[in-house]
Amino acid sequence: MVERARSARSVLVRHPWAIGMIEARPRPGTPLLRHFDRVLGCLVNSGFSAALATHAFSALDAYTYGFALTESTLPFTPADGAEQSFAEEVAPSPDEYPHLVRTLGELMGSGTYSFADEFDVGLDLILDGFEQRLTQAS
């Protein structure tokens, strides 16, 4: 599931028009149905019930599509220093946005923050939740 999500994100970032095209089709074609079948099969064969597999697939797709869409519309290109430069350009007032300023300070102060890394962090959170649900269902 991790590789599938990473691969889909990579393609969608390179081709941001693809999300609209995929979602605009009135009926999925054979390749998309085959993909759905394989993903659901992977989840069901890993112990997910049909319902939990459907929920997991839906959540993963929504997260992946949403992240790729956000990434493709950022006002900067994630790269060395781009996030830092953007944060400095926006420079929110600490009086009006104390939590945002604190968060930006902690993230940017580390010198290693990259928005692109957020994808794997969020993916881990989602997959941890699936694992917990799967364990509870057993």
Residues 6+ apart with CB under 8 A from 44: 50, 53
Give the percent of the chain with pLDDT over 90.
Answer: 43
Is the alpha carbon torsion for 52, 54, 58, 61 positive or negative?
A: positive
Write the burial class of residue 12 (CB in 10 Å: 0-12 exposed, 13-18 middle, 19+ buried): buried
Rounded to an integer, the average pLDDT of 87-109 is: 88
Could you read off the pLDDT of 51-70 as tens digits, one per residue?
A: 999 999 999 999 999 999 88
Residues 6 or more apart in contact with residue 103 via CB below 8 angstroms: none
Question: Tokens 């994808």 identify what position?
Answer: 119
CB neighbour list of residue 60: distance below 8 Å, 6 or more residues apart: 1, 4, 5, 126
Q: Which pLDDT band holds residue 114 (cuts at 50, 70, 90)?
A: confident
